[in-house]
Amino acid sequence: MSHLLFGTSQLTEDGQLKIGGCLATDLAKTYGTPLFVYDVAKIKEMARGFKQTFTELAVPHKVMYASKAFSCQAIYQLLAKEGLGFDVVSAGEIYTALSAGVSPSDLEFHGNNKTPDELTYAINEGIGTIVVDNFYELNLVAEIAEAKQQTQQILLRVTPGVDAHTHDYILTGQEDSKFGFDVKSGQADQALQQALTHQSLQVAGVHCHIGSQIFDTAGFTAAAERMMALLIKWREAYDYTATILNLGGGFGVRYTETDTPLPPQDYVTHVVSEVKKLACATDYPLPIIWIEPGRSIVAEAGTTLYTIGSRKDVPGIRKFVAVDGGMGDNIRPALYQAKYTGLLANRALEPATETVTIVGKYCESGDRLIESIDLPHAEVGDLFAMLTTGAYGYSMANHYNRNPKPAVVFVEDGQSKLAIRRETLVDLIMLDQQL
């Protein structure tokens, strides 16, 4: 199990989980459970890992954290300090980032159906980049910027026909996607031609994103190759030269033993060498390379602490162990059978004596966090730590069953700081109106 503990997470000699120098049991006592704990050192390590490789290779770059993975003021502050920019996908994420002091120029706005209100808000706030997804939006952005007599920097999102799945990638699959301009059918060419006619748009380059939780570099290099080929074609056909090539995110993380992600350095090295090779061969000015890691920045840094309550042993069938949260705070297992692992944070070194299913407290049979895990006999009051929950956990949290959302703490060097306070019952009725 210890090989699934990341960053500063470790077990003490008596089997207590410690993160950022703080005992999990102390954190649970201070803040209550369920509790999301983020290891600040691990987040910094990942952010620096991506940036450092670009810097060592002397390649102009920008690392944009895909903030949908985990969005709150504290994470924007932390990563802005690390020199990252941000991929945002709603007025809510833009507002949160700006309220945390992020410069609007460090934001890029993504989404397949940004509303007119959201686009107006983003442009009014001086957002750095809008990643234009479709023809409707292209005209809308041009109109809004023109009315303000502003020039808006945009990227064109294209689907290069590379669809990466966890361990491999396929060509052409991604054409059946709701995102972006399709390359093969000529939509992307058409989008560029249209965009270039608008005075209010400054077309800085192109974007693609080939998938998520990807473990090898082949899909990324294939995408880089196709994107460069497109840019080279556009230079010939339209005398257009891009300054930004955004290759998206999707770098894998380790949820269980069977996941085998590469270090950030490997992804960056491969992508850079592919882009450089093609740029060199065609005398294309090396574009600024952007990447958008989300999951890989925060997933492994996050741990969710739950208190164990009831059990139900169905003889010969299954042992259910229930925790005080579930699909309201970590919905990925219920949503798409995502696999996780965990441990008893207060006695992790005791030998496992039984195989159990970890379930939540929500009124859905599918509210299972971990289908099958070997643990010491779990008792009422034990602390269960679900590992690698830093991405798409809290950010997908919901109020199903009117359970308040958990608290989030950041830990570092033996100190813990509240990043998001626990919701109260009063918070739950804040928007309600009595009729």
Ligand X SMILES: *Cc1c(COP(=O)(O)O)cnc(C)c1O
Please report how close the Cβ of residue 63 comes to ligand X at its closest, in angstroms.
11
Catalytic residue among 22, 208, 280, 363: 363
Please report how close the Cβ of residue 282 comes to ligand X at its closest, in angstroms.
26
182 versus 292: smaller Cβ distance to ligand X: 292
Is position 285 annotated in a ligand binding site?
A: no
171 torsion bin: left (phi>0), alpha (psi -120 to 50), beta (else): beta
Strands 342-344 and 415-420: unpaired
Is position 392 annotated in a ligand binding site?
A: yes
Under 8 Å between Cβ of 145 and 154: no
- CB-side neighbour CA atoms (13 Å) of 119: 26
Of 387, 383, 404, 408, which Cα lies nearest the Cα of 309? 383
DSSP state letters, 308-368: EEEEEEETTTEEEEEES--TTT--HHHHH-----EEETTSTTSPP-EEEEEE-SSS-TT-E
Of 297, 262, 263, which Cα lies nearest the Cα of 69? 297
Is position 250 annotated in a ligand binding site?
A: yes
Is position 284 annotated in a ligand binding site?
A: no
Does the active-site annotation cover 363? Answer: yes
For the chain, how long is the longest CA-to-CA vector? 72
From 54-62, 93-101, 287-295, 416-424, give the range in contact with ligand X by CB under 6 A: 287-295
Residue 393 near ligand X by CB under 6 A: no
List the interface residues with ligand X, window 95-114 (CB under 6 A). Answer: 110
Tokens of 20: 């950022």
Please report how close the Cβ of residue 388 comes to ligand X at its closest, in angstroms.
13
- Count CB atoms within 10 A of the CB of residue 294: 25
Is position 336 annotated in a ligand binding site?
A: yes
1 versus 288: smaller Cβ distance to ligand X: 288
From 35-43, 167-175, 294-302, 412-420, give the range in contact with ligand X by CB under 6 A: 294-302
200 versus 389: smaller Cβ distance to ligand X: 389
| x-or-dash string of contact with ligand X, 362-391, rule CB under 6 A | ------------------------------
Tokens of 230: 């497109």
Residue 69 near ligand X by CB under 6 A: yes
Is position 32 annotated in a ligand binding site?
A: no
Tokens of 302: 């996050």
Q: Considering only residues 39, 118, 292, 324, which one is a binding residue for ligand X as defined by CB under 6 A?
A: 292
250 versus 393: smaller Cβ distance to ligand X: 250
Is position 240 annotated in a ligand binding site?
A: no
Strands 10-11 and 152-159: unpaired
34 versus 294: smaller Cβ distance to ligand X: 294
| x-or-dash string of contact with ligand X, 190-229, rule CB under 6 A | -------------------x--x-----------------
Alpha carbons 300 and 386: distance in angstroms, whole number: 11
Give the nearest residue (CB) to ligand X: 294
198 versus 295: smaller Cβ distance to ligand X: 295
Alpha carbons 63 and 401: distance in angstroms, whole number: 38
Is position 362 annotated in a ligand binding site?
A: no
Residue 66 near ligand X by CB under 6 A: yes
| x-or-dash string of contact with ligand X, 242-271, rule CB under 6 A | ------xxxx--------------------
Kindly determine how many residues on this chain lie close enough to bind ligand X according to the rule CB under 6 A. 16
Looking up tokens 């301009």 gives 181
Task: Decide: helix, strand or coil at residue 271.
Answer: helix
Q: CA dihedral defined by 67, 72, 76, 77, rounded to 10 degrees?
A: -170
- Count CB atoms within 10 A of the CB of residue 147: 11
Strands 201-207 and 152-159: parallel
Under 8 Å between Cβ of 392 and 295: yes
Ordered alpha helix ranges (H), 125-185? 135-147
Is position 293 annotated in a ligand binding site?
A: yes
| x-or-dash string of contact with ligand X, 15-54, rule CB under 6 A | ----------------------------------------
Beta carbons within 8 Å of 53's beta carbon, 6+ residues apart: 264, 265, 268, 269, 272
Alpha carbons 131 and 296: distance in angstroms, whole number: 21
272 versus 299: smaller Cβ distance to ligand X: 299
Q: Considering only residues 39, 87, 108, 216, which one is a binding residue for ligand X as defined by CB under 6 A?
A: 87
Which residues are near ligand X by CB under 6 A?
Answer: 66, 68-69, 87, 110, 209, 212, 248-251, 292-296
**Residues of the binding site:** 250, 292-295, 332, 336, 364, 392
Active-site residue list: 363
